[in-house]
Amino acid sequence: MSNLFDLSGKRAVVTGASSGLGVQMAKALAEHGADLALLARRKDKLEEVKSQIEQEYSRKVVSIECDVSSLDQVQRAVGVVKEELGGADILINNAGVGGIGEASQMSLEEWQKVIDVNLTGVFITAQQLGKLMIEQNYGKIINIASIFGHSANLAFPVVAYHATKGAVVNLTRALAAEWAKNKITVNAIGPGFFESEMTMSIKDNQEANAFIVGSNPMHRWGKEGELNGALILLASDASSFITGQTIYVDGGWTAV
């Protein structure tokens, strides 16, 4: 059974890999045997993560500066992935931005920025790496959605974020249906609130923290490593007959 979750010899691409959940997921993939291409806009942070993973897991790691909202940059990154790793078996579409702002006050520029990264960026990256996967007749794509792609909320004005993450859930279904014939599975993970450097300011806000803790049946935040089970399931051959699904890892937030 453990062989089902073995990623030895697999090549994984992780976007948004310079901090937060991206780093946690990259390390989980490396721990299970995958070589990695790490994509993000902050090259200095990427190099730090690359060094950590190489030292801890002795995997081959390539760091690539890339803004996923730019087709040119994504195409260049895919070229590096093909040259350095020989292809890609796994894509973790994790890059994203928040975009806090009242709907009535949000400018079109603010709206478009969130759309460009959270939705268009997910599509571009899946499209370009999907071409490699179609050629090899194999692939595992995991899009990172959110509990806020499932439901709205009363605490944070993030209308553009809601819109994009809801779209990612249905984009996942559409790609899964289209690429099933190519032996590519496309699934999504919808995280709740997880402890990371990106969310510390929210956790330190007493009112916001109370809302989060009170909104899921487990009455706590997600801890480091608690996404790994769903991630490795969907990245490995243990999920060979699972496609078009979104798994919410949220302490039960979306169940109530």
Residues annotated as part of the active site: 161
* Cα(142)–Cα(92) distance, integer angstroms: 5
Residue with tokens 């942070």: 45
Contacts of 136 (CB under 8 A, 6+ apart): 87, 89
CB contact at 8 A, 77 and 93: no
Distance CA(254)–CA(77), nearest Å, equals 35
Task: Specify burial of residue 210 (Cβ count, 10 A radius: 0-12, 13-18, 19+).
Answer: exposed
Task: Please name the residue that has the structure tokens 């709205």.
Answer: 152
- In order of 63, 84, 234, the CA distances from 125 in angstroms are 16, 17, 18
Contacts of 188 (CB under 8 A, 6+ apart): 142, 143, 144, 145, 168, 169, 172, 245, 246, 247
